[in-house]
Each structure stands twice: as C-alpha cells, then as structure tokens.
A and B are shown apart, each in its own frame.
Chain A
C-alpha cells in the first residue's frame, strides 16, 4: 500500500472515530519514525529517526588556528576549537575547502554563505534550494514541522530557501517558537490517550477544497509566475499533510518531555542577547527533536555580515575583522578571536543540550548531523579559500571524530555528503565549479 493510500485509509478510520470522546487508537508507527537501517529505538525496539541541522555563524574562523595537523581520527584539538573540546569525538573537521567564483561578482559575505549552504552562486534573482530544504523534502514530510528556522540575533535572517521566491524566514522569539511547538496543538507522543481534534479535521477539509483551484489560476501565467503559484500550492499541500498528521496518534518517543515555556528576552545584535537567545533556542530544539516534532532545524547564531557587538561598543564583529590589526605576538586579531570564541561557545551550548537527551546508550546528538555554515575563510579579506567546514554529531548516521583534509575542493562536498548520509537519493550536488560528485567517503558508514 502506498504512503498516500495508507494515509487515506487511516483518515477514514479516524473520521469514523470522531465522536468527541477520547479514544485510544492503536495506529501503526508513522513511516517517518522508521530508520532505514533498522537500528533499534532505545525504549521500544523501534527505529529512531535521523535528523539534520545547520548552524550558521558569520565571518569564518582564523586561518591557521582551527585546522588540526593530524588527519583522520584522534586529531588534536586546535587553539580555536577549544570551546568544543569535549565533543571532539563527535565532530568532523573538513579543512582545505573553498568556494569557486567562476567569474561571478563577489557579493561580499553573501556569496560565500549562499554557495556553502546551497552549492553554487546563483545569478540574481534566481536561487538554488539550500541543503536543508533538500534534506527536509526527503525526511521532513512526516513530521508536524517540515523544518524549524530560528535566529538568535533578532533579525529574520536565514539561508534556508526552496527557491528565490520561497525563503524560510527565521523566527526570532523563543517564546513564539515555544508556542508553535508546545502550544495547544502539541500532542504528547507518550500520552496513553489520543483524541483526534474535530476542528483540525474540519480545517483540513476546508483547505483541501482550495487545492482544486490551482489549474484555473495558472493557465495564463508565464513560467516564473506559474512557479511561484505552484510554490504556494506546494505549501498548501504541506499544510494539509501536517494537519493530517495531527489527526494521528504519534509514535511514542521515550526521551520526549515537553519543554517549559521560556521567558521572553530581548532579541538584538548585542552579543549577550544572542548568547541568551541561543541558550533558550538550544533547549527548545532539543525538546522538539526528542518529541519528533521536526527532523530538520536551522539555527542561525549571527548572520554572514556579523553585525553583533559588545554592549556599549559601536564596533561590530564585522568591523573588527576589517579594521583590527593582527597582533604579531599571538598571530591573529584578538577582538575577532574573542567573537569567534563566543560563537563557538554558543555552539557548544547547543551541542550540550542535544547531548543531554539520553536515548538508550546514545544521545539525541548521535542521531542528528549538524552542518556548519559560514561565509568566508578569512573575513579580513573576504577570502573564499580554506573555509572552515564541520559536521557535528550524527554518530548513528556517519563516522565522527575525523579530520578530512581536502586540497582546494569545493565546500559542496560536505553538502553532498550530508544529503547522502540522510538518504537523499542524489549522486552529485552544486553548480559550475562548485558542483561535485565526490562524497567524503572517509565519514560515510
């Protein structure tokens, strides 16, 4: 039976059950919760779902201070990776990768960020889908949220997009994200009783009626407008299938506990606020993933232009990268280093939250692969060479604790590798010189 027909019959079952009273329905596990490898779900013997995340921090790292010398396993923790030291065995470092411009005019900061996250440099106004949206298309269709996008810096910046006209904007408020995930519509996967919500069913049927109108709307449109209206209808179908999911009893997830409501704190570009918001988001995301609400999460600490700054200081991280002289005694820009360290400490906070969720002998961090995103190899000169690339976690999906040294390969190799690791059926990724078919086999299981 196909997934669609399975859904349809399930719906019919539920329709019959709707009488307003609570019923316990013993529906089968959702397909999305079954791991392709068939490894056991810690508590119940069922498979745990693999997840994907992106972490974005602007302005790269200091060249020469983040790359380990030793290649392969047991690499040394470098000066700049100290905040992440305790996770070394769960981190893969990919050094020596770059973005190829292919003659495109460099839009400082933006070009690198877009190329790393979406595999190439699109001609404006076009855009390529970002790696997370390609993965979400594959693993995110059977969860309440196809993906979550949050940013810690108070802006709705995002590098997650399906196309130029369908961007997934970041949510900036932990409180609003909490309400979306754990508000009244949240169904505890471990609850014994499950009552399908009549209002959800009614909403779903109203929305379904609108799908029929697509044909008459697109008939006279040009190609690009047609694509935009199709994007709308894709979103409509997704909304509909999310509602369908809300009518089904979710699979139990032993590690799931409902997050407590966060306080609302100031969102802005002062680094203290970013750190505080990152902490709240990290916790929320850990709960959301543990409860199976989504399988794809994009967390932006600060954007490619690095506009964060210390309180009462007029000088942003970005300005420091361009203005601050390299201290000859230590070999790098001290203020810039401080900002980078703060970003990586924020990343460590995130990894810690995920790692604190125990799932049998492993943790939540072991079933999510998080890809690092930034925009440059050396911010002082907007360099697109030796861009710091990492993956964090995902020990159930890929090999971890490995340093892979590339020699001028495109950063798209990392994007291709994570897609394949998450089961996206693709043999290559990227455009022009940033196109690659070279999976990083060193980390593939």
Chain B
C-alpha cells in the first residue's frame, strides 16, 4: 500500500467512526459533545512556542502510522526526564546527547532500510527508479516529499527537499544503488532535529490584534499529539494547509473528528501512562524470592489493568473521572487473579483462556477501590520487599492531588521505621508512630502516612492481607479532615476532594502544552476546572474544552518579554 493509500484508509476509518459518533450524539447516548452553552473564557496571556523532544511512544507511533506497524525500530531511546510530575513537561527541557544521537541514528537507519527493502518498497515508495543502480531524482523527490510532510508535520520547504533529494542522489552514486541512497536520505531525515523535536512557530493573530498564536501547522501538531499522541494525519495537515484550522468552525470540526476516532484511546493511554509514572516500571523489580508471583509479566499486566480500567471508565462509559478511585469494576488476567487472590478462570467458547476478563468486586471489598488499590499503584509505590505507607501517601498527594511533599531532612534516624522483624513494633503504623515522635519528621508524615496506612492491606506486590506479624492491620486515617476506616473510605475521600479534579485539569493542560500553567493563567485554569465540573468530570469533554480554547494556542511574544526583562534589569542597575 502506498503511503497515500494507507493514509486514505486510516482516514476512512476515522471518518466512519466520526459518523458513528455523530449518530450516537443525535441519539442522545454517551457522546463527547461540546457543552450546550459555554460562557466566554477569560483571556489568557498564553505561553511560549515550545520546542519539545518526541517521546519514545510518539516516535514509535509516527513510524507505525507512516510506514506501517510491522517496521521494527531496533534501538533504544534516551531516557525522558520528569518535570513538574510529567515527562511531557520534561520534553520541553531536554536535548539530544551524542550517545543519544548515535542511538537515534542507528534506529533511523534500521527503519529506513526496512522501508526500502524488497518486502516494503512496492507498498511504500510511490515510484520505481529508471535504473536501480543509479540515482533517480524524480522518484526520490516524489517519495521524500510525501514522507517528509508526514514526518516533519508540515510540507518541506523547497530548499529542504532539494537537500534531501541531493543527499539521496549522492549516496546512491557512492553506493551504486538507488534504494540505498534513498534509505540513507530518509534515515538522515529521521535523525534530524525537525523530526526529533516538535518545533512550534508563532504568527500574529489577526483576530486579536497585538497578540500572537501558533501557526497552523504548529497548532495541528499540538492538537494531534494531545489527543492522539502522534503526528497529524493527512486530513489535519490539509486543514492546516488551507488555514481552516485557524477558524473556530474549522478547529471544532477537526476536534470533533479526532475525539470520535479510536485513536483517542492512544492519547488517553499516553496521558495516564505519563501521569501515573508507569515509566518507573522499567527500572522496577520485586524480589522474586519474597514475591514469586510478581514477575515482569505481572508488572506488564498491572499497567494494562489500570489503563483498561481507565479507558473503560472515561471513554467507553464516558464516566466521571473521579469514579476511578471508587469503581469496583476492572479487568483481570489469570496472572493478576493469582496476585490479588481472585479466581479468574473464564474461558472463551472454544476453550482457550480469555486473557482479559471484566471483573467486578463485590460491594465492600477493599480490593475494589478503582485504580488506587491496583498493583500499578500500590506495588509501584512500595519498597522492593515491603510496603511503605509514606511512599504511597506521598504518591497520592503528588500524583493525584498535585500537592508537593517536601524531601526528608538530613540527620534522621530511621532505625525503627522499617525493621519488619521488630518484636515491639509489629505493624507499619506502630513503626511510623515511633519514628514520628521526632518533631522534625512529624509535619510531613502527617500529610502522607494517614493516606498510605489506609492501603496497608496491600503488601509490596499488591497481595491482600489483613494482618502483619500476627497483628491486625488498622487502616483508619483521614485526608484533609475527612476521616475513613479503610481503602474504600480513602477512595471516596479522594473522589470528593476538590484537589482531585483540579489536579487532573492542571496535569492535562501541562501534558498538552509542555509546560505548567503560570500564575497569569490562573483565572483561565479556574474556568477550565469549573467547566470540567459542569461537564460531569468527563475527560473527553475536558479535552474538547482545552483543545478548542484560544488560550491553548496563544503565544506570548518572547521578544517582548526579553525586552521587558532587559528593561527591568537596567532599572535595577
């Protein structure tokens, strides 16, 4: 299949889904439609145009979209950096080191050589060279122009295209092979900064004199990576090219189409994978001698369980985001079943085991507290060999409520805290209580431990327990004044805490724009938070609200800012 055909197919699927969604919208069932009457949003100053490095999953998805899912990457990525709780924000601050570029270069050549190999060239290269042992400028141009538009998320300039074509020609001459030359030129493009970084550009905003906005291709990019975690498709690029995307109606049309696409699930998964810090599973291991059930496969299943729970709740059901901390519904594999001591034995009609089974915990079961008591949370936020109420409490504060917990001070004696064999302090609560007699520790432990202790029914590998060292575990606690007896109560308290919803809005905005909202954007953020609440805490409608807002694409003039900073510095002198 040629690139264009492949894209056409993708679009056809997308259009079909769009049509379905529209139908259901008219039927009044679950839709991701815009709220009926929206008050005008407060004016926001916007932020800078960003330069963000592609994440590994974005890189992978673009290659799969443009060249097909069977293309192997064959390399590894430079690690991302988490900033303000998100890797997405970290992408605005990282560059590429020499060893990182060497890796990108290896990957680029592996990918490019597959694209031109005999198995793929007929499908992916829209022309044949006159002589395979010689350069063919016209054919190289045709391919590089098409591929370049998708990879760079904009059409190549004439000069850029000319450079790529010339490089392909020179390499083909040296290597006496058209395809080898083309492959190297494509590899160069995949290693170039225009591909590896999302460069955003701004332009004057004709509708708001004196203000700037993202140019249409940058706008398309921001939108597409936000909603789909990949580069814009051909239709979105066309809307950028025609300028349609810069009109309110045109933008809404694209957003509606994108929210109705099955690709929205990729976007939602990418956001929660980032927010819930699943990247940490890469360097994560449970001691196999203590927790023989918690294998690498179980860790993979644990992440997938949570993502399935989320997708079901926020997309399939189009439900309230906050119910993720109370829902008894989830999905299990036999492996997870053994971890949680839940029998999962469902088989399909033909007798083959069904890998993922929907499961609903009975009412009052402390294992059924949404994503909170799933292994992806309680096991990830633990020590390798034992649970940690402090680590879990800190994770709830920082990951789910956007509240910063300070680092521990120096000169602390931890002797009693984690000695699980201590005959006097049998439970984590008793050990922490003894530790928190130190005045300088009490302050912080007060804000973490009452949360984490409610999850003490779950050991370091998410196994359920009611006793530790023979003593019954006490799971009472309180969150910001709201008291509870166990994890179920904690889940409800998180559900009801206003910080839960506002944290999500702040994180989603930061994820989408690559930076945390500034003080000057507070009013606008508050408006977004209110919109989220008014819309029933539905994530797709929040995504619509953000992605159709002017503020999301507004660019603060950096030159103006620099001048202002210079002026104020001069004044101080």
Interfacial residues, chain A to chain B (CB-CB below 8 A): 18, 105-108, 125, 145-147, 149, 154-156, 162-169, 176, 198-199, 201-203, 205-207, 209-210, 212-213, 217, 220-222, 224-225, 227-229, 231-236, 238-239, 242, 268-270, 307, 309, 311-316, 319, 322-325, 381-383
Contact = CB atoms under 8 A, between A and B. Distances in A.
A169 B282 CA distance: 14
Interface in B189-246: 191-194, 196-197, 199, 201-202
Given A232-B197, A383-B410, 14 more contacts: A108-B408, A156-B79, A165-B94, A165-B95, A166-B96, A169-B97, A206-B170, A206-B171, A220-B201, A229-B51, A231-B96, A312-B287, A314-B384, A323-B417
A235 B96 contact: yes
B96 A313 contact: no
A22 to B, nearest CB: 17
Given A198-B175, A217-B194, A231-B95, A205 B412 contact: no
A225 B167 contact: no
A294 B166 CA distance: 33
Interface stretch (B100-108, B323-331, B357-365, B481-489): B100-108
Contacts of A309: 287, 384-385
Contacts of A167: 78-79, 81, 94, 97
Given A210-B192, A314-B420, A166 B175 contact: no
A106 B410 contact: yes
A5 B246 CA distance: 50
B95 A169 contact: no
A58 to B, nearest CB: 15
Given A202-B174, A222-B558, A236-B101, A217 B193 contact: yes
B105 A239 contact: yes
A229 B53 CA distance: 10
17 contacts: A107-B407, A167-B97, A168-B99, A203-B187, A206-B167, A207-B105, A222-B562, A225-B50, A239-B102, A312-B287, A312-B289, A312-B290, A313-B385, A314-B385, A322-B415, A324-B415, A381-B411
Contacts of A155: 283
A268 B197 CA distance: 32
A107 B460 CA distance: 26
A232 B95 contact: yes
A269 B285 contact: yes
Contacts of B109: 203
B417 A162 contact: no
A108 B50 CA distance: 32
A238 B184 contact: no
B30 to A, nearest CB: 41
B201 A213 contact: no
A319 B414 contact: yes
Given A169-B100, A314-B384, A213 B194 contact: yes
A178 to B, nearest CB: 15
Most chain A beta-carbon contacts within 10 A, residue among B51, B78, B160, B460: B51
8 closest A-B pairs (Cβ-Cβ)?
A314-B385, A312-B289, A322-B414, A231-B95, A228-B95, A202-B171, A235-B101, A165-B95
A420 to B, nearest CB: 24
A201 B97 CA distance: 22
Contact of B95 (A229, A313, A314): A229
Given A199-B175, A309-B384, A146 B287 contact: no
A307 B166 CA distance: 52
B477 interface: no
A222 B93 CA distance: 12
Contacts of A242: 102
Interface string B286-322: 0101100000000000000000000000000000000
Contacts of B51: 221, 225, 228-229
Given A107-B407, A316-B384, A319-B418, A202 B184 contact: yes
Contact of B197 (A206, A229, A381): A229
Nearest to A171: B99
A314 B290 contact: yes
B193 A232 contact: yes
Contacts of B95: 163, 165-166, 227-229, 231-232, 235
B181 interface: yes
B352 interface: no
Interface of B: 48-51, 76, 78-79, 81, 83, 93-102, 105, 109, 160, 163-164, 166-167, 170-171, 174-175, 180-181, 184-185, 187-188, 191-194, 196-197, 199, 201-202, 283, 285, 287, 289-290, 383-386, 407-408, 410-420, 460, 558, 562
Contact of A381 (B171, B191, B410): B410
Contact of A232 (B196, B383, B562): B196
A167 B147 CA distance: 31
Contacts of B199: 217
A163 B98 CA distance: 12
A207 B201 contact: no
Contacts of A203: 109, 171, 184, 187
A312 B287 CA distance: 6
Given A206-B167, A323-B417, A229 B94 contact: no
A323 B419 contact: yes
Nearest to A176: B76
A322 B171 contact: no
Contacts of B191: 207, 210, 236
Nearest to A162: B97
A315 B412 CA distance: 18
A316 B192 contact: no
Nearest to B385: A314
A210 B94 contact: no
A239 B101 contact: yes
Given A232-B101, A232-B196, A314-B420, A382 B167 contact: no
Given A202-B184, A239-B101, A319-B418, A108 B93 contact: no
A314 B418 CA distance: 10
Given A222-B48, A314-B383, A381-B410, A235 B98 contact: yes
A344 B283 CA distance: 24
A227 B415 CA distance: 46
A202 B384 contact: no
Given A108-B408, A222-B48, A323-B417, A205 B171 contact: yes
Contacts of A210: 163, 188, 191-193
Contacts of A164: 93
Contacts of B160: 213
A155 B184 CA distance: 32
Contacts of B193: 210, 213, 217, 229, 232-233
A344 to B, nearest CB: 24
Contact of B192 (A146, A166, A213): A213
Contacts of B170: 202, 205-206
A99 to B, nearest CB: 12
Nearest to B283: A155
Contacts of B181: 202
Nearest to B196: A232
A168 B410 contact: no
B398 to A, nearest CB: 15
B214 to A, nearest CB: 13
B285 A149 contact: no
B98 A382 contact: no
A169 B93 contact: no
B414 A209 contact: no
B175 A313 contact: no
Contact of A206 (B187, B414, B417, B558): B187
A319 B98 CA distance: 36
Contacts of B197: 229, 232
A350 to B, nearest CB: 21
Nearest to A110: B407
A238 B98 CA distance: 7
A325 B174 CA distance: 69
Contacts of B407: 105, 107-108
Nearest to B48: A222
A165 B93 contact: yes
A227 B185 CA distance: 26
